[in-house]
Structure formats: structure tokens, C-alpha cells
Amino acid sequence: MTTTNRDDINRRTENRHLLRRLCAGVDSVKTVPIMRLLLAVFLAAMALLWVFRGAVFVTDAFGPLAKLFDALVQILLAVCTVVGFIAILIIMGTPWGSKRAREDLQKIGLINHAGEAPILVSKKQDKNNPRLTVWEFDPCGIPLQEWEDKQARIETALNIIIAKMVWGAGRKIIRVYAVPAESDFPALLRWNDKFLSADNFVLVLGESLLGPVTVNLAHIPHILLGGSTGSGKSVLLKLLLMQALRKGAEIYIADFKGGVDFPKVWHKKCRMCFTEADLLYTLNQLVAVLEYRKSRLAETGCPDLDAYNRATGENLPRLVFACDEVAEVLDRTGRSKEDKELLGQIENRLATIARQGRAFGIHLILATQRPDATIIPGQIRNNMDFRACGRADSVLSQIILDNTSAAEQIPKDARGRFILHDGTIFQGYLFDEGQL
């Protein structure tokens, strides 16, 4: 592409956006009272200047040419009024900092083949979440995928933290939902009972820039948590289990650390498994319940547990199996043949629940800090659609999320900060076990 062609494209783009800003200015005058006031002040000033033009411009001093000079003044005032009126509308329709934003995006290489950077066309507060600012850009032909690939650079260039980026207006606009960089997540978010969701089996994990982060076990039955030591993974697991208990679920916990992670208050309300034999017995019981519920739902023609409870009035509870470090359960390294056979049976039962548990109200919440792809077999992992990872290296992040975003976007010193499989970053609530 020649320089002349690029200049022509740039000129046409500028003209197009001049008209866009003029239209935006008209809209702002319609909707924003102070804009109407400013425009009224300008028109009033020009009207006064028109009335007193003879005194201001002293047209009588030109003698025989006074009438000609007065006519020129009238034309000049009319032109200034029209041009000023249009200029004010354009200024009103131009978002603050648009030129700087375009230059900053150009610096990081977010440009099209004509060398054009995206143009900021609107910048406003989000109606649903006042904390967020919505930046609307004309992408100038740059696809959303490229924006997502350069998200970290865009955040640095614009000094913001991006919550999400989406298409708008028929793929003619890209909306960037963000907060100022200094408005980062708080280091600590304490749980309050008012956060407990009233919706059936919706569990709350924490707060993202877009608001509360939740998971509905009726729709997404199994959860996989990852994170290195001290990332807050165990606290998040307990937060989910506490809410499940309060919603009437029966909780089964595998704890192979001698009860260190789950003190006695949990033992009173949950079924604890401390040995592999005890764990296999518990999983066999859960699979037996699954088969029983499968036959009952088939007899009544109900598609899932909620429909069955409504139809029969039985109120069968949901069952949740949790393990804080699944590597302690499934790792076969250095084990005897008998132990490997036992672990194989445990893995088989977990896989059965992972495949079939949703409709029958039986759920898995598994957590791991071991970056080993062999720990969680594919037949289990592939059925765990809700995944969250805290501070982690690239290997563990890849295992949990299928990408390295946890290693790249979660600060190394963060506790309780997680990223979901869909890229949502949130701060998990800190749950005090004394509240159980």
C-alpha cells in the first residue's frame, strides 16, 4: 500500500468520524442538561453580539463604507455562529482523551494495514455496574481476537484493568469494560452471610470487576480448582462446601493429611474419609445412590433431580464429594500392585460420577497444586467444566485451564485471586470456619 493510499484512507476515516462526533454531540445536547446550557450560553452571546455589533465593531467610523462594513460584520457573525455551533457539537461529541488513547494504542502496535489505530468514540459509566467504565472504539478493521491477544499491552497503554471486551453495534464497535489501574482488587474480601445466594444451588466464589462470580451446580455440576501452596485454594474450597451445607447438601470429604486442613467442626457436619479403603467405600455408596436415582428418574420420567423433587415431593438432597489435594488420592508413583488396583477402582468411581452425576445431583469439587498431567485423568478432567486457578506456574495453569493465563495474570504474591476458564479474574471471599 502506497503512502498516498494510506493518506486517502486516513483522511476518509477522519471525515467519517467528524460526522460521528457531530451526531454524538447532538445526542449529548438532547440528554445532558449542562450541554444544553453551554450551547444556550453560546447562542445568547452571539445574539447579543449581533444586537450590539455597531457598538462593538464601531461601524459608523467607516463613514460612507459603514453600511458595507456592517453587512460584512453580519455575514461574519452568521458564519461564526454556524461554525461555532457545529464546532461546539463536535467538541461535545468527542470523548475526553480520545486523541491520547489513539496515540497510546498506536504505540503498542494495535494498528491496521493502513497504519490506523482504533478511534475512541465513546467513554461512559456502565449503567449496570457503576464501577466500570465502558470504552467504545471504532476498531478500524482490527478483529477482536487481536485485541484479546494484546490485552496486557492495552491495559498498560491506557492505564486500565480490563474486565471484558466484546463486539457491539453489529461488529462495528468494540466495547472495552474496564476500571482504572489503581482500582485493582482488594487484597482481602471477607465473607458475609448476606452474600449467600437465594437461587437454588448457586454458589458464590467471590467478586470480579463485573460483580459476583457464581456457579450453579444444577447446570455445571463439577468444579476443578488449582493453585500453588498459599494461593487460597483450600479457603475457596471450604467456602463452596460451607454454602452447599447451608443449602442442604450432604458433603463427603477426602482428607489424607490427618485432619489438618479440616478441623473437627467439619467432622461433625460432613462424612470424612481418611484412608483409601474408606474412600473407596464412600465412592461405592455414592455410585450406588447414583444408580438408584437413575432408576427413580427413569420411572417418573423426570430429567433431573430438581424436576424429580418437584414431581414427588421427596426433596432428595444433593451430594457433594470434595478433595483438597486430589494428587494425594490418585498418584500411583511408587505404589504396590495392590495399591494401584485400589486407586484404579477409586479413579473409576470418580469418572462415573463425573460423567453421570449432573442429572442425579451428585457433584465433584476437586483441587490440586501438583503440576502433573497424569494426576487427573482425562475422563475425569474433561467432565469438569467449571475451572478456577489461583497463583500457579505455567504447567499447572495449562493443566487446569488449558492455557497459561493463571501464570501470566495472577500476581505472584496474590492470595485468594483466581482466574476462571473463561478468563474472568476474581478475588475469592475469605471464609472464617467459625462461621460454619
Dump pLDDT digits (tens) for 370-429. 756 667 787 888 898 899 999 998 888 888 888 888 998 888 888 899 999 888 899 999
- How far the first Cα of the chain sits from its last, in Å, is 67
In this prediction, residue 144 carries a pLDDT of 93
Whole-Å CA distances, 44 to 39, 41, 49, 81, 329: 9, 5, 9, 10, 80
* Cell triple for 250: 450432604
SS3 sequence, 337-355? HHHHHHHHHHHHHHHHHHH
Cβ within 8 Å of residue 259, ≥6 positions away: 267, 272, 274
pLDDT number for residue 181: 81
CATH architecture entry for 193-435: 3-Layer(aba) Sandwich (3.40)
As given in the structure block, the three cell numbers for residue 400 are 487446569
Q: Are strands 362-368 and 319-323 parallel, antiparallel or unpaired?
A: parallel
pLDDT digits (tens, 9 = 90+) for 59-76: 555 566 667 777 887 888
Digit-coded pLDDT (tens) for 349-373: 999 999 999 999 999 999 888 756 6
How would you label 31-65 residue by residue, b for 16+ Cβ within 10 Å and e otherwise? eeeebeeebeeeeeebeeeeeebeeebebeeeeee
pTM: 0.75
Q: Which residues of the chain have pLDDT under 70?
A: 1, 7, 54, 56-66, 183, 258-259, 371-374, 435
**Percent of the chain, pLDDT > 90?**
40
- What is residue 221's predicted lDDT score, i.e. its pLDDT? 94
pLDDT of residue 50: 82
Question: Which of 240, 260, 253, 254 shows the shortest CA–CA distance to 436?
Answer: 240
pLDDT of residue 286: 96
pLDDT, one tens digit per residue, over 142-163 is 999 999 989 989 999 999 988 8
| Strands 362-368 vs 223-226: parallel, antiparallel or unpaired | parallel
Beta bridge partners of 322: 253, 365
Residues forming CATH 3.30.980 domain(s) in the chain: 98-183
Predicted pLDDT of residue 256: 79
Delimit the CATH 3.40.50.300 region(s) of the chain: 193-435
Cα dihedral 8→11→13→18 (10° resolution): -160
Q: What is the CATH number of domain 98-183?
A: 3.30.980
